[in-house]
Amino acid sequence: MTIAVLGAGAFGTALAVALARNGDAVGLWARDAGHAAAMQATRRNDRRLPGAELPQNVTVSAEIADFLAASTILLAVPMQRLDAFLHDHAGALDGRMLVACCKGIDLASGRGPVAIIAAACPKATPAILTGPSFAADIARGLPTALTLACADPRAGEALQAELSTPVLRLYRTEDTAGAELGGALKNVIAIAAGVVSGAGLGDSARAALMTRGFAEMSRLAFALGARPETLAGLSGFGDLVLTCTSAQSRNFRFGQALGAGEPFDTTTTVEGAATAEAASVVAGRMAIDIPITRMVAALVGGHVSVPQAVEALLSRPLKKE
Ligand SMILES: NC(=O)C1=CN([C@@H]2O[C@H](COP(=O)(O)OP(=O)(O)OC[C@H]3O[C@@H](n4cnc5c(N)ncnc54)[C@H](O)[C@@H]3O)[C@@H](O)[C@H]2O)C=CC1
Ligand SMILES: O=C(CO)COP(=O)(O)O
């Protein structure tokens, strides 16, 4: 086995399917033994990615030890679970090529996935795979382009070659901060875009929100060392556009429910919710103004109502663009 995907959610499963179609022997780890057994038997992941067939060269298991021979390991667990997951399995994972496939900022530490990996597994080579891509699209084999960020240029080139397929195009950068911050912060703006949609504020308001959202994403990311071209690329602007304009996005749909005052399934992964709060804390420490993100955090925390949030954003002092 050359590639192991740890985490059998929608994204991990879709990546396993895409890489297996490319001819690689792929291992897919699920934390729940029953779920792993069901996937191995049905050759589908009905729980997280219904409709996608697992190619025969995908091996599913709940035993992490089954995947230790893999040369590349993709980490597709939710952001707020990544730190604990790595600490639980550091013995098996340290020293390996570890590619984060999650988007967000860890609430407890204020760190992104690459720094979380570096702290938990200091001998590993960390990288991140991020960008505009719905799991269902990847699993269907639709054309997709992503950013692969790795500070080590040779490792980055090797990963780009290994993880690209004819329909999954990876663009490479050494700017891990830019790639992970773009992916993390766009989910927060997508929640806000969903609120605009759910509250019936119109497409013009959404365009304004996305543009000002991109401005504050950039402000925070640059202060944390990101490069402008990364923010303007697939992992930043590209994913912002996708997530703010598609009802396939869970962050967008969560925002729509908030905006419309409707309930939302609490078991759904909505990375932007915790990241809004984490980003607000990080930005607050650095005295960086990210008003939309702070308002999303306040809305998610139940500290303001939608009309109050809209009023607060619209009554900010007029300033230069
Ligand atoms: N679904 C999508 O279209 C895309 C998702 N992503 C990112 O992928 C990451 C994972 O999201 P999805 O796969 O969509 O989530 P999901 O909700 O489909 O699945 C989450 C998976 O994580 C597992 N999990 C939960 N807690 C865990 C723990 N403590 N240890 C190990 N595994 C645990 C669950 O069992 C489940 O299989 C997120 O950061 C998301 O932003 C990125 C691009 C596309
Ligand atoms: O990150 C994604 C698309 O690039 C998936 O978005 P959601 O997590 O909002 O569904």
Task: Check: CB of residue 52 under 8 Å from CB of residue 37.
Answer: no
Atom of ligand 2 nearest to the CA of 186: 1
Tens-binned pLDDT, residue by residue, of the chain (321 aa): 689 999 999 999 999 999 999 998 999 999 999 999 999 999 999 999 999 999 999 999 999 999 988 989 999 999 999 999 999 999 999 999 999 999 999 999 999 999 999 999 999 999 999 999 999 999 999 999 999 999 999 999 999 999 999 999 999 999 999 999 999 999 999 999 999 999 999 999 999 999 999 999 999 999 999 999 999 999 999 999 999 999 999 999 999 999 999 999 999 999 999 999 999 999 999 999 999 999 999 999 999 999 999 999 988 989 999
Give 98-152 as a DSSP string: EEE---S--TTT---HHHHHHHH-TTSEEEEEESS--HHHHHTT--EEEEEEESS
Task: Check: CB of residue 279 under 8 Å from CB of residue 220.
Answer: yes
**Atom 8, ligand 2: which residue's CA is nearest?**
250
**Atom 29, ligand 1: which residue's CA is nearest?**
81
CA–centroid distance, residue 83 to ligand 1 (Å): 14
CA–centroid distance, residue 82 to ligand 1 (Å): 10
How much is the ipTM here? Answer: 0.99
Ligand 1: residues with CB < 6 A are: 7-12, 31, 48, 76-79, 81, 85, 101-104, 133-135, 269, 271
Ligand 2: residues with CB < 6 A are: 103, 132-134, 187, 190, 239, 242-243, 249-251, 271
How confident is the model at residue 315, as a pLDDT?
86
CA-CA distance, 320 to 161, in Å (whole number)? 44
320 marked among binding-site residues:
no
How confident is the model at residue 69, as a pLDDT?
84
How confident is the model at residue 68, as a pLDDT?
80
Ligand nearest, relative to CA of residue 135:
1
Q: Which residue, 225, 220, 221, is CA-closest to 288? A: 220
111 marked among binding-site residues:
no
**Sheet containing 97-100: which strands, arranged edge to edge?**
58-61, 26-29, 3-6, 72-75, 97-100, 125-130, 144-150, 168-173
Q: Which residues are catalytic?
A: 186
239 marked among binding-site residues:
yes
CA–centroid distance, residue 102 to ligand 1 (Å): 7
CA–centroid distance, residue 251 to ligand 2 (Å): 7
